[in-house]
Structure 1
Amino acid sequence: MALTLKDRVMARAGTAPTASAEDIQHDRADGAEETPAGHDEQAAASFAEWLGRYGRDVEAALPAHIDAGTFLAVVRGTLPDLIGRCTPASILQAVITCARFGLLPDGQQAVITVENRTAVFIPTYRGYVELMYRSGLVKSVVTGMVYEGDEWEFEPTAPAPLDFVHKPQILASAENRGKPLFAYAFAWLDGGVRSAVSIITREKAEEIRDEFSRSYQQAEKTGARNSFWHLRFDDMWVKTALRALAKLVPTSAELRALVAVEQAAEDGRPQILAVLDPEATALEADALRAAAAAEASQDVPTASALPRKASAGRGRTPRRRNRDRNKRR
């Protein structure tokens, strides 16, 4: 029987294809030693062994327009930092997830980092922009940061593009430009139409970080202060504006899946399930949030509030409506 990519990944990760999300939570790499600084030959041998075991699955996951040799060359430079520090299953799943989006884990489009002995795929804001372009509906994406010394105006009730103007003082010194006030993002769409402007203040960015970023919370708890919010706050600030923009422009299934995959990482859930079945993952996340809200308020969630797949109910006869019509007749 032919196996799907999902089946092969689960099998190679030592997990049955029918396993639930809870069943494939990554085990801690107990007893794993930190990879010592070795010679290039040792790194090459490790990559060759890894490629021999998983190369076919990685190539199968890549979009047709991404060259497998280029992608694997970038992965080759990433693996030495992961092998020995993460479980093999988590490395495989992070690389497969990255491959499915066709984003290079080169620090520009995406990164694969280590969190609690687990390899995690994280797209950068440039990765989000790349997927917006691929949709074919977005012609240009503009991001920026407004500083105290800049000229700007925002009038939401004015028609686009007159509602937002930003004139940065690019020749001014950092001291004269002042502190950053907010990050923004907007897109020019097919036909010359401009999207709404996504604006994220520092207060809003910190609120989102504190509430939703598990890696930031963990880094604060341990005192490591090594999350991306700690190390690259401005990049994460702009990325937050881009994620908000994704809700304001025509998006592809690929971009929606990218949001679901990144949220899965923040929630501590396996990313590979989100990329292979983003709709089911989104429904699961909605259900968990609804249950948490109901428990907090002691309210019983109504049936209408439960998340449903877009295809649910299609082709069914609205029975109550038909009965009402018969009564009127």
Structure 2
Amino acid sequence: MALTTLRDRVLANITEAPAMRGRPAPASAEEAPVPAAPATLEEAAAGDPVQESADAALTWLGRYEGHITDALPSHMQPGPFLAAVRAVLPKLCSCNPASVLQATLTAARFGLVPDGRVAVITNEFGRATFIPTYRGYIELMERSGRVASVRVGMVYEGDEYAYEPSAPSPLDFTHRQDPALKDRGKPLFAYAFAWSTGGHRSQVVTVNREEAEEIRDKHSRAYLEAEVSGKRDSFWHTDFDAMWWKTAARQLEKVVPLSAEVRALVEADRAGEEGRVQVLHAPEAPACGGTATSGDPEAAALVAEADAAGTAADASQETAPASLPRKRAGLKRVQPKRTTRAARTGRAGRRS
């Protein structure tokens, strides 16, 4: 039976393959791990039996540091980014190395430091996943040059607000809160809007709790896996409000002319939520000396695994059109026989 929904795939993965619960089964043959690839970062950096997990992770990072640095935007210094990656790597030691490489490269290409403020790289059941926060969305939107500022907020029961979509901007939405109130009550809905560099304010997007939960249930594989396993440790469990805010920020793509980079971030974020490949091509793997090599089995396996998954994700889903018929060589085109006016007149006389 075909598994059409995310929930069906997660339930099948958890219930039918309990032995692989730490590492979900691939969705297709193209995503299947290359047998020669190491299963974890500890295995990837193995060699010293007394090596600590953190040292193993740093050894692994050293092999790809040059490619990660090259992926960073020109305005970013590599030091803070690599420091943040080093800090999180020990928590990713049980992850598939290809997923760690993909998540790290994705964060680098968007220029979002995985420091917990604008982005994180987390271990989701054996998969390293890059997750931008709502602050990451704001930073990338404002960096694009099309958006002057972005406002993401939450309306609580104790706040004053008015929302009239038919009114002209900015009178269509107002939100006032009393700073003297310590308890503002329960959250009602998250909202987001943006001001363009030309001084125009975008339409306001709102996301109530029911809508946020619907998006979570439909798209977040980490949430479903955490529910099924009973761990309940996904970000939707531990930091629901922050994910709620991010959902509102991401809805701005519907009403704001965003840059291609921001739209790519939305797609990478959704791919990560659904357990799909976030970055399509890993770089050529370097040897310990820092140069590319085809003689390193572990590096070659990592690249093969990442590229196989990326090729499957990037492949066209449409059936190739049948080839058009072609004229066969050597055949002469038959010209219609032409008759003169006298011949036509003679045939008419014989028929009469």
Indicate whether the TM-score tops 0.5. yes
Q: Given that residues 190 and 206 in structure 2 are in contact (C-alpha distance below 8 angstroms), is that contact kept between their aligned partners in structure 1?
A: yes
The answer as to 2:210 corresponding to 1:203 is: yes
Amino acid across the alignment from 1:132:
M
**Structure 2 equivalent of residue 64 of structure 1:** 74
Based on CA coordinates, which of the two structures has the bigger radius of gyration?
2
Letter matched to residue 71 of structure 2:
A
- Equivalent position of 2:124 in the other structure: 115
* SS at 1:73 equivalent: helix
Give the distance between the partners of 1:252 and 1:21, measured in 2 at CA.
32
- Does the 8 Å CA contact 1:25/1:270 hold for their aligned counterparts? no
Contact 2:101/2:282 (8 A) holds in 1? no
Question: Against the structure 1 CA distance between its residues 194 and 257, is the aligned structure 2 distance closer, same or farther, given a 3 Å change threshold?
Answer: same
Q: Which runs of 5+ in 2 are unaligned?
A: 1-26, 44-50, 284-309, 322-352
Bigger relative contact order (CA 8 A; separation at least 6): 2
Residues 220 and 48 (structure 1), Cα distance of their counterparts in 2 relative to 1, 3 Å cut: closer
Residue of structure 1 in register with 2:326 after alignment:
none
In structure 1, how many angstroms separate the alpha carbons of the residues matched to 2:218 and 2:177?
31
1:286-315 deviation line (CA, Å, top 9, x unaligned): x98xx9xxxxxxxxxxx9xxxxxxxxxxxx
Give the CA deviation at 1:264. Answer: 1.0
- Aligned ranges 1:180-199 → 2 under 5 Å: 180-199=187-206
Tell me if structure 2 keeps the 8 A contact 1:108–1:124.
yes
- Per the alignment, residue 242 of structure 2 pairs with 235
Aligned to 1:323: none
Aligned with 2:64 (options 50, 54, 75): 54
CA RMSD of aligned residues (A): 3.0
Residue matched to 1:97: 106
Distance in structure 1 (CA, Å) of the matches to 2:130 and 2:40:
23
1:155 aligns with 2:153: no
Q: Does the CA contact (< 8 Å) of 1:128 and 1:255 recur in 2?
A: yes
CA distance in 1 between partners of 2:163 and 2:73 (Å): 39
CA contact (8 A) 1:257 1:275 kept: no
Q: Secondary structure at the match of 2:105?
A: helix
Q: Give the alignment of 1:132-281 within 5 angstroms.
A: 132-174=141-183, 177-273=184-280
Which amino acid in the other structure matches residue 126 of structure 1? R
> TM-score, with normalisation over the residues of structure 1?
0.71
User: CA separation of 1:229/1:274 partners in 2, compared to 1, >3 Å: closer, same or farther?
Assistant: farther
Contact 1:21 1:269 in 2 (8 A): no
Q: Which whole-Å CA distance do the structure 2 matches of 1:257 and 1:207 have between them?
A: 23
How many residues were matched structurally? 256
Runs of 4+ in 1 over 6 A off after TM superposition: 31-34
Assess, with a 3 A threshold, how the Cα gap between structure 1 residues 43 and 210 changes in structure 2: closer, same or farther: closer
Q: Secondary structure at the match of 1:271?
A: coil
Displacement of 1:46 = 3.3
